[in-house]
Structure 1
Amino acid sequence: MQKLPRSMQLLVDRLSDLPGIGPKSALRMAMTLLKWPEDKTRGLGQSITDLRDQLCICSQCAALADTDPCSICSDAMREQDKLCLVSEWDSLLVMEESGFFKGRYLVLGGLLSPLDGVRPDSLELDKLRENLQSGQTSEIILALGTTLEAETTGSYIKNMVEKEYPHVRVTRLAQGIPLGSDLKFMDKETLKQSMRFRQNI
């Protein structure tokens, strides 16, 4: 196969760095960009540049934002005593889209995974401590998922908070059987969590 022109190969290599994009998909994307009108292609490039130039990390919740503090952190109507911990910014977006949580957030920037080099000092735990030292947080809600890494991170944070800030309540999202699901199709761990976090009716 003929070698790609250098500029095309460079673009394919960079597109291949994106999650879920292999070399063949990257080549198809690059070929599509070549077929676009010039102004559309340049607009895409400008959007990527603007993404880096105009976004910032909120100094309070560590989320991506246009301003610092972000619109959520600067909203005085939100419940200041409830702090929801999420692993990444996209989890915050999902929580916000649901519209049921009216407290504040902290984006941890990942989950503990020693094998992958993610240790406590890799996460935004200093921001969590600063928040707790302010004295306005009465409850921390762990919204980290159900993976082994999420469980490890949740346990670490729970132990830290109980030791350093015993007056702060630590909760987590209830886990169990999704609405509309049949019991016979549930896996053992889901059933275990459902039984463990059963509720009064």
Structure 2
Amino acid sequence: MNDLPKPLREVVQRLSGLPGMGPKSALRAALTMLKWPNERAEGLGQAIIDMRRNMCFCSRCRALSEADPCPVCSDPSRETSRLCLVSEWDSLIVMEQAGVYSGLYMVLGGLISPLDGVRQENLEIGTLKGRLAEGEVEELILALGATMEAEATASYIKNMVEREYAGVAVTRLAQGIPLGTEVKHVDKETLRQSMLYRQKL
């Protein structure tokens, strides 16, 4: 890559830092952008800048949104007694698209993974505790997937809730989700069945 012109090399290096984008894919993308008219390339750059300026994290659920609170948290028709805990925002999107849940959400911001340096203090545990301390939540639904990291996170949260919030039932999505699968990769019917037949943890 060092033999590339400096402006092209810099774009390739930045693109290759994206998930699923290796150096070769980044180079192909950069070369494609070079063929675009100036207006299209500038439009992409401006869209990225606008996204960064206009998106925020909802103070209630930590989901990405254009407003705080987000549309889900500010919807008066949602069931406030149920809180669905997901690891990342894209899992929330999949849950909403499935149309099988009418409660509220909380985005944890990842999963406990000591090998990757992710511990409970790196997650939104404090925000979750704040939500539970309000006293409205009767059921905490863990929609974290079926990976080893998800299991470790579920176990930590279950123990925390049992210790500190006795009136809150902890459930999880039914094990129709294959082991090793993240919620965001599950088809709608499997997700519907998992939510419908969730189990007490």
Q: How far apart are the structure 2 equivalents of 1:27 and 1:167? A: 55
The residue that corresponds to 1:97 in the other structure is 97
Match in the other structure for 1:188: none
Amino acid at match of 2:162: E
How far apart, CA to CA, are the structure 1 residues paired with 2:177 and 2:15? 39
Verify: 1:149 aligned to 2:149, yes or no. Answer: yes
**Residues 28 and 81 from structure 1, CA distance in 2 versus in 1: closer, same or farther, beyond 3 angstroms?**
same
Task: Sort the Cα spacing of 1:6 and 1:139 in 2 relative to 1 into closer, same or farther, 3 A.
Answer: same
Aligned partner letter, 2:57 = I
Q: Is the 8 A contact 2:143 2:173 kept in 1?
A: yes
Aligned counterpart, 2:140: 140
SS at match of 2:79: coil
Task: State the Cα deviation string for residues 112-171 of structure 1 (Å, max 9, x = none).
Answer: 011111111111111111111110000000000000000000010000001101110000
The 3 A distance-change label for structure 1 pair 111 and 130 is: same
**Which runs of structure 2 are paired with 1:60-139 in the superposition (5 Å)?**
60-139=60-139
Q: CA RMSD in A?
A: 1.9
Structure 2 residue 69 is the aligned partner of structure 1 residue 53: no
**Structure 2 gap ranges (5+):** 179-193
Query: Does the alignment pair 1:169 with 2:154?
Result: no
- Count of residues in correspondence between the two structures: 182
Residue 23 of structure 1 and its aligned partner are, at CA, apart by 1.0
TM-score, structure 2 normalization: 0.86
1:176 shift after superposition: 2.8
Partner of 1:160: 160
Which structure 1 residue ranges, 4+ long, deviate > 3 Å from structure 2? Answer: none
The one-letter amino acid of 2:149's match is E
The DSSP-based 3-state class of the residue aligned with 1:80 is strand
Q: CA deviation at 1:198?
A: 10
Distance 1:89 1:82 in 2: 18
Q: Kindly tell me: are residues 68 and 177 of structure 1, through their superposed partners in 2, closer, same or farther at Cα, counting changes over 3 Å?
A: closer
Alpha carbons of structure 1 residues 119 and 137: separation in structure 2 relative to 1, 3 Å: same
What secondary structure sits across from 2:84 in the alignment? strand
Amino acid paired to 2:154: G
Partner AA of 2:121 in structure 1: D
| Equivalent-residue separation in structure 1 for 2:83 and 2:176 (angstroms) | 22
For residues 20-78 of structure 1, give each alpha carbon's deviation from its aligned partner in whole angstroms, at most 9, with x where no partner exists: 11111111111100111111110000111111111000000000000000000000100
Q: Which has the higher contact order (CA 8 A, sep 6+)?
A: 2
Aligned-residue sequence identity (percent) comes to 61
TM-score of the pair, normalised by structure 1: 0.86
Partners of 1:91 and 1:140 lie apart in 2 by 16
Change (3 A) 1:173 1:48: same
In the alignment, the residues of structure 1 paired with residue 117 and residue 198 of structure 2 have an alpha-carbon distance, to the nearest angstrom, of 35
Structure 2 distance, partners of 1:105, 1:138, is 13
| Closer/same/farther in 2, CA of residues 198 and 172 from structure 1, 3 Å limit | closer
Instruction: Specify every segment of 5 or more residues in structure 1 that has no aligned partner in the other structure, as ranges.
Output: 179-193
CA-CA distance at 1:95 after TM superposition: 0.2
Over 3 Å counting, the alpha-carbon distance change for 1:10 and 1:96 in structure 2 is: same
